[in-house]
Chain A
């Protein structure tokens, strides 16, 4: 339609069509990825704003900045937004959406319209949840434990639950699209053993999305039913069982942490190989580890319930299985480290973030082993130790990987280079800020401070002040990329098709790619991460 033909630029997915309608009605996976990118970035800042308020409140032992009820709503909304509206869609819906068709050599995802539908569903869910928050918020914790959420909370539980319920469908549809695309739309020669590990990881995550999300949707529906119609499902006064809720909730929400982390692990494979110019160490083991995590991840949910009143023998089994799920993660960490061995390593921003990911994920994973251990879990359960642990995995791990991926593929997505020096500074700030924020919380947690406390005994203050100070460094580390990414859209140097001299089909098409991705269907005759046959780049670095 709008044929504003550029003189220099060839036609690509960004300039092929203009106007708001061309975005809202697009079925191009790349444009939908950008729609998601804008949406989840907005959610990230809203959730981050709540986090800052939480950290400010915790500067002093007395609950003096906001009221108890407000504080409870803050951590609830921080959790709901970050988990359901940022972390779960983060890598899959943005980078996954953008890259999976490119990586397998396809024109689009298997169901382009379903892909657009999933974004609309996400938006309806997000707006529903945000409306509930604007109308007064919700104070149940993101975990919605019953009977508090069904009978005792006087806040907008229904709105938030329905928002999450709706968003769940977008997750299912995205997962479905990935599974079908990876099965059916790989280019000739792109065998399973040549598939980039990013696709393997997203495939594993997609399995969990499709199989797990319906369970949380049903669970939240049951919460809504009990709340609205007093049907006794979870409240013992109505004849229900509160532990039933926890079983159902964690049956999804534990695998959900692997929805969040697996795609991040996928990003790390691409980056570590590219910046050490090596094929990944133990490709099969890394690929199988993703699937092992997805499968075992479904069998460990009750480790959230060791002090909840489950039977001793159930606890024993779930403890054992929780150790087993730690092993494939360890395998991945060792393989990434071994990939560096005898590589030819460059310290570009994505690689710095990837280093940060491996280190912080290692800490997050190992502290998970503490929690799998029954005797220690009883003491640290529901304390700041757990808060520190999952932030190490989710923020130190997942958000680091997301940032790594955004920097790595930014030239591909936008056709512009970001400013390298600023980006390196941001990676450093995020790493330092993150550790300053969350390392003290392990100590606070083992000392016994329970999570979700609005006010706390004075002996915990020094470490909390340190944590809040770290959070402000972390905030700067996140604001910075926001600024230079936006800056680069206009002023960044135009990106060549393959700025990192990486292998992978997505680098064999122009930046930004044309709407149809490839001029000719590529035929794959090489292994994944075939850096041996990739010529060294002409650019001189590091001398």
Chain B
């Protein structure tokens, strides 16, 4: 690549090749049709110019031709559609066991928090070869997390979590852009994603240090905010026991079932009346305005950790009971 005039973005993720592959196919087909149209116009315009071809030959049209140039482009488009959708589906389905990083976008900076508690601003360190899943939300307006070298992009919304994942395949430092216009310093809401060798990444993690992992911080908040009073780890609580709930289907009192994902936990904290678990009363107060985006993420991380097999049980009143099954 030319040093001062790069014409193509770097490829630093497992997905980049697939996106580029489809892009090259699109480019090839487009170039073919563009050249075809240009060539036909040029040839016809010269060959049938008035001076050599003074009398036009009237042609009504041709059904076979109309069908051909309707159906052939349609067929080609369906190939693009299928391939593009396959890539999109992969992008939408993060692999299990991905390393999670929590991202908060705000005017005009990116804040990251690793599960292990390390925090970063406008810089994200990740190890090479590892699936990384970002759980993102915005504190104010809509932002967008975009790393061209990974070919991934997702809007970061206020009021809900969105996700994005990638697997870096090349060490280096890559642009991170906010690509959804977000106000004055939109063009300065940029940063770097730094892909490191696993060893170097571990060294970086320990050098950074952290005051408690994210689930630990979440657990503390869980106590401080008084959540633990009702959400007890037995069957006696006024709210559901949260052990093992995350990722499972939850039966609601109106008969619907929802999967307890990050957005459900978020909604249940900020707008608890929206979806009441079957068998419980809508008595929980809203925490809207009392918990920051970062605290929300810590709480989510904690509740998530309650659904994972724990080497040592979370402190406090622990007696993980089987999921409370209630029949109305």
Contacting B77 at CB < 8 Å: which of A236, A335, A369, A447?
A: A369
In the complex, A452 has a CB within 8 A of chain B: yes
Chain A 302-339 near chain B by CB (<8 Å), digits 1 or 0: 00001111001001100110011011001101110110
A375 touches B91 (CB 8 A): yes
In the complex, A490 has a CB within 8 A of chain B: no
A319-B81, A323-B77, A536-B54 known; A448 and B69 CB under 8 Å? Answer: no
In the complex, A456 has a CB within 8 A of chain B: yes
Chain A 281-320 near chain B by CB (<8 Å), digits 1 or 0: 1111100000000000000000000111100100110011
Question: Closest CB-CB distance, B6 to chain A, in whole Å?
Answer: 5
Query: Which residues of the partner chain B approach A516 to less than 8 Å between Cβ atoms?
Result: none
Q: For B188, give the chain A residue with the smallest CB separation.
A: A455
Interface size class of A (residues with CB under 8 A): 35 or more
A462 touches B181 (CB 8 A): no
Chain A 427-446 near chain B by CB (<8 Å), digits 1 or 0: 00000000000000001001
Question: Closest CB-CB distance, A349 to chain B, in whole Å?
Answer: 14
In the complex, A185 has a CB within 8 A of chain B: no
Query: How many B residues face the partner with a CB closer than 8 A?
Result: 87
Question: Closest CB-CB distance, B194 to chain A, in whole Å?
Answer: 16
CA–CA, A335 and B185, complex, Å = 47
A344 touches B50 (CB 8 A): yes
A276 touches B56 (CB 8 A): yes
Query: Which residues of the partner chain B approach A145 to less than 8 Å between Cβ atoms?
Result: 141-142, 180-181
A373 touches B26 (CB 8 A): yes
A381 touches B179 (CB 8 A): yes
Query: Which residues of the partner chain B approach A388 to less than 8 Å between Cβ atoms?
Result: none
Interface secondary structure of B, over-half rule:
mixed
A319 touches B85 (CB 8 A): yes
Chain B 1-36 near chain A by CB (<8 Å), digits 1 or 0: 000111111000000001100110010011001100
| Segment 95-127 of B: residues with Cβ below 8 Å from A | 107
Contacts between the two chains (Cβ within 8 Å), count? 292
| Segment 328-380 of A: residues with Cβ below 8 Å from B | 330-331, 333-335, 337-338, 340-347, 355, 358-359, 362-363, 366-367, 369-370, 372-379
In the complex, A457 has a CB within 8 A of chain B: yes
B81 touches A366 (CB 8 A): no
In the complex, A141 has a CB within 8 A of chain B: yes
B187 touches A455 (CB 8 A): yes
In the complex, A519 has a CB within 8 A of chain B: no
B69 touches A330 (CB 8 A): yes
Q: For B185, give the chain A residue with the smallest CB separation.
A: A68
In the complex, B301 has a CB within 8 A of chain A: no
Contacting B55 at CB < 8 Å: which of A279, A344, A378?
A: A344
A63-B187, A443-B7 known; A242 and B142 CB under 8 Å? Answer: yes
Q: For A283, give the chain B residue with the smallest CB separation.
A: B61
A345-B53, A375-B84 known; A340 and B178 CB under 8 Å? Answer: no
A340 touches B5 (CB 8 A): no
Q: Which of B146-154, B232-240, B243-251 contacts A (4 or more CB under 8 A)?
A: B146-154
> Mind listing 10 A-B residue pairs with CB under 8 Å?
A139-B183, A237-B159, A323-B78, A345-B49, A358-B37, A375-B22, A378-B91, A448-B175, A542-B51, A543-B51
